């Protein structure tokens, strides 16, 4: 399902993706000396370095003439610090020569001081030609401006304060005028947008502004008349400008511009605008309808003459319904009301319409014919994405096949639910072909018309999908047929969402794509196509389980797409909306419209809402057929939990809070990096953490009830308990929740915490003194006292010596306790040491520690390395067989030292601070050793507990497996792992509990520096995962597609790996005296590796 025969995406000769850690600051395509070229500017995450790259064939030598933008002021004089290599001062500006790069020509600029970005033009270095962007000077933003200056609500600021440098002042000043018209708004919007080169804040502001206008939440006329001709011309100019901006944009910016275009009529050169005035008079004269006061037609004529608006399309449609029904005024008002108008709106025009239409029976047919033609004129001026009009406009320059498909769509627009899926399939095919055409269309007018056609097709798809959804029920179709129908609709909706998000890129998943949401949706579509093929053979429980894994991933990808739009748009809507309501005479936009702005934008935008609706329905159908349970119990609690219910957007936002009474949180999301706050006895979330992820282990350690609710409706229904006391308890595969007497839940959070930790004595061993800078594996003695390294080093070296030879372990060396303190005391680090000591002392006097924790981490990362440290680490690694002679010199050592300091600095991360504080461990007394190993370039990574944590069975193990390196598992990357359980005796096959839905796999090798503190693996304290393990080199990320993943497709391989993991676990447990173990390992080239093991908490 997906329409098959779309044209292939055209290979982009100007394609180039900046480094993964860079953020795109400008991306413009333009003509340079008759050649199509691309200018791509990207910055590092800190906003300290800007790279500008010009890509194209046979480029002349170029230079960049630039100035610094500060506080919204363009072309400021750059400081001397900003002038890098190949730069020279040119009066108040700077010239930087481009040099040849790996692709195109490259110039680099250092960003210092208050510079928000760089304004620049290009110059031909030899013949002095100058080149600008299509809409003016180039601009690359390097620092995201704060939408809300000083965090003050807009309604509390003056207009000049509120809009400084962002175009908001221009918008507010315009809307506060005593007189305005829609034509003037379009003109003002064009002015603001024209100056928005590279300014995302201004782009968002214009989109929100025009959307408010489209929704009639801003006045279309205020004491000002406009000729329809001028309105039509201004709409034409604005729609063309938006189109040119879209052609240069990518990702979210392109989607915002597309949404902006949908809020603007196409317009024309003015002939149609004048025809609005002329043709209404022609019709009235032809049918002898007198121009007399109190006549409906005359009132509408006066309104059209005074100020025609998009409302006139609705009025014309209502009048046609009135004529076709032989004068039934009920039909007139039905169409009026269905399209958002009412009597009050009509009576509120400056040329009010207060009477009702008259029926001229003798002229009925002639009037219907003429007003259908008049409706076309109105749509030419006021409608952009009207499908019929869009097809008419584009027909002359589309090929015959596409025109045939479009005609079929127009014919079948009213198709019933049974035939609608075929029409949507055709729409999908057309949109595939259009998307390739649009990204390569050089004619601006044609591109605009193609964009409007695409918007019209998407709107038609949404209407047909929403109409068909109501007929999707088990009663009329049967469960098997219902599931297959929903699966096909989802395939089409997801494919169309990908077309919208990333037009012209085809169906190929590009791991280097900067548009990660679109890439993820494409991967889901590819996996879903496989499931769809299988569904045609019948829906079995096994199919339902596999389909559910893809559905979970697709729902997550959709959520990321929606969140990206919402987080980009909603703050601006609230900021601008409340400010405009303060200055407009009508006191609009209304509050409801501001609050629900992004939600309504997404609902009305097309495929995202359609996909969400169908996924929700399919989720229930799959679970009914054995595709999965509604609940997953991560931690059973004490068992269960009793507490007062509160809802939070995410767990991270409240981890610093202490709850004064036992609390059960409804957390809408979690990242896996959080700590459960003091006083919280239960967490229920729609997110699915891996059962063996560190956050899950810590929840079980604290006996916090922790459960995932996969059913969106069920989770929403839990909202009825907010503010009430409940009792929740695991019962088999479900959670039983009931209200309880809150007066019996009076314990304070401290009492609850003491109870949760009762019987657990947690204390750090005495601090170890410095002995040497690094210890090779041969000198790591697991039985040594006092120990100068943590349990991680002890256990892996012991395992290496005790495990059978078929189980591989990586060689190890240790940077022991005391080395960090020794480096801090070095004379080169004297000033840092003083600041560090002060920051640690201050940490205990502040309410909000985040800022101080960041400061401590930055101080550690600034430490200089004594020569003895470098020599000692290299020697220990060579003696351990981890590196060869000549390795870890120069730049390689610099990278290694950055990783080493990163592990030391992780002592002061948020989750460690809150976890240790909760357990009564002073973080300043934690000592950090660092275990250094060669990273196994694994095909699959696993974690296994030798006692099943889900049910407490001592004769059963539970494991989770991911593709690639294990960080996606222990770090709780979004999605689920392959989860399975197996009896220790190996007599029964493994039982698969969950199928993988992780979005990415990490791959790579090199050295890895693992935290090995004295605050991990203490009796009764799950310190694992609190501190960081950092690879010396960045791992590569790959978007995973499970339809071709051997672990899923090859049952024999999967069985071999699952049984092998379990045998590893049995051998490790036996080697450590039969004590339950928490084991991390991997599989590569037919061999199993154990990379660390610890007692299972």
Length of the chain: 1097
The three-state DSSP-derived secondary structure of 61-90 is CEEEEEEEEECCEEEECCCHHHCCCCEEEE
Structure confidence at residue 1081 (pLDDT): 96
Closest C-alpha among 906, 890, 883 to residue 1007: 883
Asked if residue 1097 lies in contact with residue 702, where contact means CB atoms within 8 angstroms, the answer is no
Omega before 639 within 30 of 0, i.e. cis? yes
What is the mean pLDDT of each successive set of 10 residues along the chain, which is 1097 residues long? 35 68 78 83 80 87 89 80 82 87 86 82 82 81 51 35 53 90 93 78 92 92 85 94 92 90 84 82 87 84 87 94 95 94 90 92 92 88 85 95 96 88 96 93 95 94 89 84 93 93 70 61 92 87 91 91 86 92 93 90 83 92 89 90 93 87 93 84 91 82 91 92 94 91 67 44 73 95 88 91 94 96 96 94 84 92 95 97 94 93 93 79 86 95 94 94 93 90 95 93 93 73 72 86 93 96 97 95 97 89
pTM above 0.85, yes or no: no
| CA-CA-CA-CA torsion sign (472, 478, 479, 483) | negative
d(CA 537, CA 533): 8
Question: Counting beta carbons within 10 angstroms of the beta carbon of residue 656, is it exposed (0 to 12), middle (13 to 18) or buried (19 or more)?
Answer: middle
- DSSP-assigned letters across all residues of 318-380: HHHHHHHTTS-HHHHHHHHHHTT--HHHHHTSSS---S-PPP-GGGHHHHHHHHHHHHHHHHH
Residue 935, Ramachandran bin (φ over 0: left; ψ between -120 and 50: alpha; else beta): beta
Q: Is 445 helix (H, G, I), strand (E, B) or coil?
A: helix
Structure confidence at residue 167 (pLDDT): 66
Structure confidence at residue 476 (pLDDT): 78
d(CA 98, CA 79): 20
Give the residue numbers annotated as catalytic, written as ranges. Answer: 694
d(CA 500, CA 438): 12
Query: Rounded to an integer, what is the distance from CA 79 to the centroid of its chain?
Result: 36
Query: Rounded to an integer, what is the distance from CA 327 to the centroid of its chain?
Result: 52
How many other C-beta atoms can be found within 10 angstroms of the C-beta atom of residue 572?
26
Structure confidence at residue 166 (pLDDT): 44
- The pairing of strands 663-667 and 680-685 is parallel
Instruction: Give the CB-side neighbour count of residue 570, counting CA atoms within 13 A.
Output: 14
How many other C-beta atoms can be found within 10 angstroms of the C-beta atom of residue 529?
17
Q: Which residues, in sequence order, are CB contacts of 877 under 8 Å at separation 6+?
A: 774, 776, 813, 883, 887, 888, 932, 1007
d(CA 185, CA 1086): 67
Structure confidence at residue 135 (pLDDT): 67
Q: Is 105 helix (H, G, I), strand (E, B) or coil?
A: strand
Q: Is 169 helix (H, G, I), strand (E, B) or coil?
A: helix
- DSSP-assigned letters across all residues of 681-717: EEEEESS---TTSHHHHHHHHTT-EEEEE--HHHHHH
């Amino acid at each position: 399902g997906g329409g098959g025969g779309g044209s292939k995406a055209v290979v982009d000769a100007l394609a180039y993706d900046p480094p993964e850690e860079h953020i795109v600051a400008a991306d413009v395509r333009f003509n340079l000396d008759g050649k199509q070229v691309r200018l791509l500017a990207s910055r590092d995450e800190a906003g300290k370095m800007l790279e500008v790259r010009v890509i194209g064939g046979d480029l002349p030598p170029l230079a960049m003439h630039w100035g610094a933008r500060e506080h919204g002021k363009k072309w400021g004089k750059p400081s001397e610090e900003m002038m890098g290599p190949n730069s020279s001062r040119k009066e108040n500006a700077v010239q930087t020569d481009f040099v040849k790069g790996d692709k195109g020509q490259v110039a680099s600029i250092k960003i210092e001081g208050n510079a928000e970005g760089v304004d620049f033009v290009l110059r031909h270095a030899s013949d002095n030609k100058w080149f600008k962007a299509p809409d003016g000077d180039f601009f690359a933003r390097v620092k995201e401006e704060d939408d809300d200056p000083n965090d003050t609500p807009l309604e509390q600021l003056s207009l000049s304060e509120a809009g400084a440098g962002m175009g908001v002042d221009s918008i507010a000043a315009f809307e506060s005028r005593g007189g305005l018209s829609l034509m003037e708004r379009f003109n003002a919007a064009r002015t603001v947008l024209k100056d928005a080169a590279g300014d995302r804040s201004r782009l968002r502001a214009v989109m929100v502004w025009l959307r408010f206008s489209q929704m009639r939440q801003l006045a279309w006329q205020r004491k000002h008349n406009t000729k329809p001709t001028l309105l039509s011309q201004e709409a034409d100019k604005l729609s063309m400008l938006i189109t040119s901006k879209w052609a240069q944009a990518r990702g979210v910016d392109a989607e915002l511009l597309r949404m902006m275009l949908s809020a603007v009529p196409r317009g024309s050169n003015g002939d149609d605008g004048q025809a609005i005035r002329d043709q209404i008079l022609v019709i009235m004269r032809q049918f002898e309808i007198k121009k007399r006061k109190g006549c409906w037609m005359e009132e509408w004529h006066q309104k059209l003459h005074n100020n025609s608006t998009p409302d006139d399309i609705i009025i014309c449609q209502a009048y046609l319904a009135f004529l076709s029904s032989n004068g039934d005024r009920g039909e007139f008002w039905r169409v009026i009301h269905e399209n958002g108008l009412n009597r009050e709106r009509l009576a509120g025009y400056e040329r009010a319409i207060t009477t009702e239409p008259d029926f001229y029976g003798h002229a009925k047919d002639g009037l219907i014919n003429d007003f259908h033609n008049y409706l076309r004129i109105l749509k030419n001026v006021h409608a952009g994405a009207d499908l019929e009009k869009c097809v008419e406009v584009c027909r002359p320059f589309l090929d015959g096949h596409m025109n045939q498909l479009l005609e079929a769509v127009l014919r079948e627009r009213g198709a019933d639910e049974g035939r609608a899926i075929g029409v949507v399939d055709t729409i999908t095919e057309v949109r595939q072909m259009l998307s390739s055409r649009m990204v390569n269309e050089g004619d601006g007018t044609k591109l605009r018309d193609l964009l409007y056609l695409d918007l019209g097709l998407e709107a038609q798809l949404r209407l047909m999908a929403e109409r068909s959804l109501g007929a999707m029920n088990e009663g009329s179709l049967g469960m098997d047929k219902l599931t297959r129908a929903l699966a096909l609709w989802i395939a089409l909706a997801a494919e169309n969402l990908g077309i919208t998000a990333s037009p012209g890129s085809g169906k190929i998943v590009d791991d280097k794509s900067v548009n990660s949401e679109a890439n993820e949706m494409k991967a889901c579509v590819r996996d879903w196509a496989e499931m769809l093929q299988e569904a045609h053979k019948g829906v079995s429980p096994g199919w339902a389980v596999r389909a559910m894994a893809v559905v979970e991933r697709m729902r997550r990808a959709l959520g990321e797409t929606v969140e990206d739009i919402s987080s980009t748009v909603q703050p601006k809507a609230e900021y601008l909306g409340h400010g405009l309501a303060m200055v407009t005479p009508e006191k609009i936009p209304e509050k409801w419209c501001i609050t629900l702005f992004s939600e309504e934008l997404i609902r009305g935008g097309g495929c995202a809402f359609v996909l969400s609706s169908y996924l929700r329905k399919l989720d229930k159908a799959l679970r009914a057929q054995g595709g999965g349970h509604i609940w997953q119990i991560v931690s059973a609690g004490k068992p269960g939990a009793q507490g007062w219910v509160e809802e939070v957007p995410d767990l991270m936002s409240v981890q610093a809070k202490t709850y004064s009474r036992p609390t059960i949180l409804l957390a809408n999301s979690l990242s896996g990096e959080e700590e459960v706050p003091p006083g919280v006895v239960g967490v229920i979330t729609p997110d699915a953490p891996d059962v063996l992820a560190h956050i899950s282990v810590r929840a079980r350690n604290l006996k916090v009830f922790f459960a995932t609710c996969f059913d969106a409706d069920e989770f929403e229904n839990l909202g009825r308990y907010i503010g009430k006391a409940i009792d929740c308890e695991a019962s088999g595969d479900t959670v039983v929740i009931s209200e309880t007497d809150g007066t019996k839940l009076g314990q304070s959070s401290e009492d609850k915490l003491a109870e949760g930790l009762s019987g657990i004595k947690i204390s750090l061993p005495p601090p170890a003194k410095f002995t040497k800078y690094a210890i090779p594996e041969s000198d790591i003695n697991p039985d040594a006292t006092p120990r100068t390294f943590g349990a991680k080093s002890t256990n892996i070296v012991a395992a290496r010596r005790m495990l059978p030879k078929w189980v591989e372990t990586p060689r190890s060396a240790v940077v022991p306790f005391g080395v960090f303190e020794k480096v801090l005391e070095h004379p080169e680090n004297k000033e840092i040491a003083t600041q560090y000591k002060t920051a640690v002392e201050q940490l205990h006097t502040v309410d909000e520690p985040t800022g101080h924790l960041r400061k401590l981490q930055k101080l550690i990362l600034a430490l200089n390395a004594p020569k003895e440290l470098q020599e000692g680490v290299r020697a220990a690694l060579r003696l351990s067989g981890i590196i060869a002679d000549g390795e870890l010199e120069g730049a390689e050592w610099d990278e290694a030292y950055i990783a080493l300091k990163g592990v030391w600095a992780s002592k002061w991360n948020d989750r460690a601070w809150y976890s240790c504080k909760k357990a009564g461990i002073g973080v300043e007394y934690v000592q950090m050793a660092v275990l250094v190993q060669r990273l196994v370039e694994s095909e699959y990574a696993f974690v296994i507990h030798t006692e099943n944590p889900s049910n407490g069975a001592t004769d059963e193990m539970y494991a989770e497996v991911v593709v690639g390196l294990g960080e996606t598992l222990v770090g709780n990357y979004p999605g689920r792992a392959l989860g399975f359980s197996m009896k220790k005796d190996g007599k029964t096959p493994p039982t698969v509990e969950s199928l993988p839905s992780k979005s990415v796999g990490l791959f790579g090798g090199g050295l890895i520096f693992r935290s090995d503190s004295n605050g991990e693996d203490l009796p009764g304290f799950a310190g694992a995962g609190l501190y960081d393990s950092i690879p010396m080199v960045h791992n590569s990320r790959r978007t995973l597609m499970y339809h071709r993943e051997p672990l899923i497709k090859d049952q024999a391989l999967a069985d071999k790996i699952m049984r092998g993991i379990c045998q590893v676990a049995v051998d490790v447990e036996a080697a450590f005296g039969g004590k339950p173990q928490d084991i991390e390992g991997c599989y590569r080239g037919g061999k199993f590796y154990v990379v660390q093991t610890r007692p299972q908490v």
